[in-house]
Amino acid sequence: MINLNMLASGTLLHTYSSSLFTTYRQSLWLIKRHDSSYQANFQSWGKALSFTQLQQLRAAASRSTFKPAICSSSVACILLNNLGVSAHITLRLQGSRWLLLVPQIRPDFGDTVLKLPSGYVPSESLSSPQNTVLQEVAEELLWLTPDRRQCLVTSFDQKPLPIFYPSIPLHSQSQTAVMLSQAQRPHHRIATYYKNQLKGEQCHLYLHQSTQSAQLVSYFEFKLLPDFIQKEKLSLFHCEDVWNDQSQSVEVRFNENTLVVWAEIDENNQLTGKATTLHNGQLIPICDTSKFYLSEYFCSRQGIWVKDNNQPFQEGTDT
């Protein structure tokens, strides 16, 4: 267990063996278009891919001549490089509604964006991608008290999310203080369903042209015990896994300067242009958001497809 006084920037929180990154596969999708919605299903395809091989496929896709127009018929069969999952998480605090975004450096696009917490689905989890999205929430969002104790997050089925960092002591009074519940899909999004999702899940699908990949988006809301954040002086940190060439492993290290960005949204699920971070129970405004860019999820759609890779963070953007 980590000494409470030793949890400083650079502390190793978690490591993955490189062998875990041989489990990705391409996926073959059957997509049916209805009048105002899409329905999709898929199966895994081809041999197992390493993380590096997957990245090479995604990079090659940006140079291909693939055109989304071939999927404009009522039924289409498409081979895609990988399946990703994202968590669209909102919450209410201090009279405002917020969308949680995390920063990501993307070497393949040469940019840094704010994105939904997300990750790739390994082949062994393709039949239950919901497990991966909950794991991503547990990995990327770290609620800490000033004395560096982590707050447990409970999911909509009343079970704790995976404890990703067992070396960080738990806050003993946080068992039901932060709960992740399901939320409705914003009405402005085209209704797109992955039909094998568990009953009751709100799941949205889009296809990214530049990487020839599929992304499933699940919609959640954090329910907070009244005044718990302020009383316990919580901070919300972002933890990201990074490949370490020297150790040939993927590592997650704590960075006290990397906080989750809270983007304010209105009742129409559009950005207001305001953003903050949460530190010691206080929302700290981000004064200058002019250099922020958003990931492809926020870009305009051509049916089920997203062509662009990013767009500026600005008022009026649909979420």
Give Cβ neighbours of residue 248 (< 8 Å, ≥ 6 apart): 18
Mean pLDDT, rounded, of the chain: 83
Phi, psi of 129 (to 5 degrees): -60, -20
Helical H runs in 141-284?
228-232
Tens of pLDDT, residues 135-150: 899 999 999 999 999 9
183-188 contacts, C-beta under 8 A, 24 or more apart: 183/88, 183/90, 183/219, 183/220, 183/221, 184/219, 185/219, 186/219, 186/269, 186/318, 186/319, 187/269, 188/268, 188/269, 188/318
- What pLDDT does residue 199 have? 43
Determine what percent of the chain is predicted with pLDDT higher than 90.
36
Helical H runs in the chain?
51-61, 129-140, 228-232
From the number of C-beta atoms within 10 Å of its C-beta (0-12, 13-18, 19+), residue 190 rates as: middle
Residue 301, pLDDT > 80, answer yes
Determine what percent of the chain is predicted with pLDDT higher than 70.
85
Q: Of the candidates 16, 48, 55, which has an alpha carbon nearest to the alpha carbon of residue 123?
A: 48
- What pLDDT does residue 200 have? 45
From the number of C-beta atoms within 10 Å of its C-beta (0-12, 13-18, 19+), residue 246 rates as: exposed
The model's pTM is: 0.90
In the numeric block, the tokens 């954040």 are attached to: 229
- What pLDDT does residue 71 have? 54
Please state the rounded mean pLDDT for residues 93-120. 90
Tens of pLDDT, residues 15-32: 776 555 557 889 888 888
**What distance in Å separates the CA atoms of residue 104 and residue 87, rounded to the nearest whole number?**
15
- Note the residue count of the chain: 319
Residue 189 has which token pair? Answer: 């999004």
More confident residue, 243 or 208: 208
Pairing of strands 203-208, 305-306: parallel
Residue 312, pLDDT > 90, answer yes
The distance in angstroms from the start CA to the end CA of the chain is 39
CB 229 within 8 A of CB 92: no
**What distance in Å separates the CA atoms of residue 20 and residue 107, rounded to the nearest whole number?**
21
- Least confident range from 35-39, 50-54, 231-235, 279-283: namely 35-39
What confidence tier does 292 reach under pLDDT thresholds 50, 70, 90? very high
Give Cβ neighbours of residue 186 (< 8 Å, ≥ 6 apart): 219, 269, 318, 319
